[in-house]
Structure 1
Amino acid sequence: MNAPLPIDAARLTLMLNELRLPTIGRLWPEFAQRADKESWQATRLLGALLEHELAERAKRRIERHRTESRLDPTKTLAAFDFSAVPMVSKAHVMALASGDSWLEKGANVLIFGPPGGGKSHLGSAIGHALIDAGYRVLFTRTSEIVQKLQAARQSLQLPAALAKLDRFDLIILDDLSYARKDQAETSVLFELIAERYERRSLLITANQPFSGWDNVFPDPGMTIAAIDRLVHHSTIFEMNVESYRRRTASDKQSARRRQSSSDNDNHRDIDNGATTMT
């Protein structure tokens, strides 16, 4: 049996590029030198190179998915203050963040609460964690996706637009309460909910409870049908807390008052000292 012809480095690089193995193309000289020095078996060398290629490929995939998700990069679980929302179980949120069973069932997460209470942050944080776990997520203002789906309907492309959204394991519909039936024909929103029912998951944030959703859908029957589908397999969080923005503003104001009071005390101490020295 004839021995295989030697392959020079330049040709090997070309073949790795052709096979789209850039990490192996970058690392193989270093690994090959180490393998020669330490007398590795061929399987160990090949396995080490392939492990690095797969790890880099997974990293690039997560980066692509994070970019396409349109999530705010600052709204993560690490940055979320669970102490400000004691009614939300951190353990429950962390379980949701792992994905697995609830996404496979097409279950939903519904987050209610007043403006500024952290709903969008919590939803985005779950989304980031799911991307890290290998899932695909899309974050969108509800009014924005309604406009896009309405445009698709007008051009007779609604089924195709809904099918395109199927690639996302989770769609986060932020601020559902701001989608109004007098601004756009929001029946397309119901079609999105119905299309994903028990197949793909939704996470919805809303300022208003279900009783206020008649302002969103064209008729009461559609409102009831939408709520029924969303609630059937769902986790509901009610974040009835003071606005984070108001809390922050109040804390800053209190800090300024304390600083002002401290400054005044210092001035009085200085004045008293000056009087004594005189």
Structure 2
Amino acid sequence: MNAPDKIDAARLELLLSELRLPGIKLIWTALAETADKEGWPAARFLAALAEQEMVERSRRRFERHLEEARLPPGKTLDAFDFDAVPMISKAQVQALAAGDAWLEKGANLLCFGPPGGGKSHLAAALGMALIEKGWRVLFTRTTDLVQKLQIARRDLALEAAIAKLDKYHLLILDDLAYVTKDQAETSVLFELISARYERRSMLITANQPFGEWGKIFPDQAMTLAAIDRLVHHATILEMNVDSYRRKEAVDKARGVGRPPTRATIKGSA
């Protein structure tokens, strides 16, 4: 490379940095050599540069969204044991993983079942799949989020805190049942549910069926109102299976494979 070319290359590097085009900056020299060698027209060279920038932006966006989602590690649909819950439709779960049919409508997904039955794994795996599709997701224990919202209420910033969660297409609340039956906790949870109603989606995992939600919310009216908002546009998965964790421990002790389990599933529009 002669002196003028070196000057032009250095100037281009500075311009690409200033314009925040890291994908092009990463690949332009190699593509330029190929274009010169093969005699590419200018349009083809520019298109290749633009495509590289799009790929790089998509990669960085995925990494940002994955980091902010706070998903538990290793929970993917490939790692989920569908054989252990044979009544759960893998095809339906894969359709949910696309997101278009329900996230665009602000619909919800509710997963019920005993502890250790795979609810949290399935929720996190769906979260990962949705992030790969470009959706924004936040995974949190319900108690952790409720505590943050209580602090926001104390600081007179609850409305702003709930509004900030709007950037997430899907809010995954894990272990709803562990919220204590306390007026302050359940009222901020109810306000969150109401604020996202028909606007933004929620995925909630819970050990208790609706009939026992009176243990979560302090009065019957709030219980019924919360349930009404959640199920109005919802798919409900009932994963009534024995605990994965308990069965794995027992099977390991016995030196046998995990026996098949059963689950039920239902959906409502």
Q: Same fold (TM over 0.5)?
A: yes
1:121 aligns with 2:121: yes
Task: Extract unaligned runs of 5+ from structure 1.
Answer: 257-278
- Deviation, structure 1 residue 65: 0.4
The normalised TM-score by structure 1 is: 0.88
d(CA) in 2 for partners of 1:22 and 1:162?
34
Indicate the residue corresponding to 1:102 in structure 2. 102
AA partner of residue 113 (structure 1): G
- Deviation, structure 1 residue 183: 8.5
1:181 aligns with 2:181: yes
d(CA) in 1 for partners of 2:103 and 2:85?
25
Of the structure 1 ranges 180-189 and 101-110, higher mean CA displacement relative to structure 2 is found in 180-189
Structure 1 residues 1-278: aligned runs within 5 Å: 8-182=8-182, 184-255=184-255
Secondary structure of 1:44's partner? helix
Q: Percent identity?
A: 67
Secondary structure of 2:163's partner? helix
Q: Is 1:62–1:131's contact at 8 Å kept on the other side of the alignment?
A: yes
d(CA) in 1 for partners of 2:103 and 2:16?
37
Q: Is 1:147–1:184's contact at 8 Å kept on the other side of the alignment?
A: no
- Deviation, structure 1 residue 81: 0.4
- Deviation, structure 1 residue 101: 2.2
**Number of aligned residues:** 252
AA partner of residue 106 (structure 2): G
d(CA) in 1 for partners of 2:233 and 2:33?
56
d(CA) in 2 for partners of 1:183 and 1:59?
43
Of the structure 1 ranges 238-247 and 182-191, higher mean CA displacement relative to structure 2 is found in 182-191
Q: Is 2:183–2:218's contact at 8 Å kept on the other side of the alignment?
A: no
Instruction: Point out 4+ residue stretches in structure 1 off by more than 3 angstroms.
Output: none
- Deviation, structure 1 residue 218: 2.3
The C-alpha deviation readout for 1:181-212, integer Å capped at 9, x for no partner, is 23853110000000000000000000000111
AA partner of residue 176 (structure 2): L
d(CA) in 1 for partners of 2:188 and 2:35?
60
Secondary structure of 1:83's partner? helix
Q: Is 2:179–2:185's contact at 8 Å kept on the other side of the alignment?
A: no
Q: Which has the larger radius of gyration?
A: 1
Indicate the residue corresponding to 1:263 in structure 2. none
Secondary structure of 1:186's partner? helix
d(CA) in 1 for partners of 2:186 and 2:112?
20
Task: Extract unaligned runs of 5+ from structure 2.
Answer: 257-269
The C-alpha deviation readout for 1:152-171, integer Å capped at 9, x for no partner, is 11111001001100000000
d(CA) in 1 for partners of 2:218 and 2:148?
17
- Deviation, structure 1 residue 125: 0.5
d(CA) in 2 for partners of 1:188 and 1:92?
32
- Deviation, structure 1 residue 219: 1.3
Secondary structure of 2:25's partner? helix
Q: Give the alignment's Cα RMSD to 1 decimal.
A: 1.4
Q: Is 1:185–1:218's contact at 8 Å kept on the other side of the alignment?
A: no
AA partner of residue 79 (structure 1): A
d(CA) in 2 for partners of 1:52 and 1:65?
20
- Deviation, structure 1 residue 24: 0.8
The normalised TM-score by structure 2 is: 0.91
Secondary structure of 1:166's partner? helix
d(CA) in 2 for partners of 1:151 and 1:133?
33
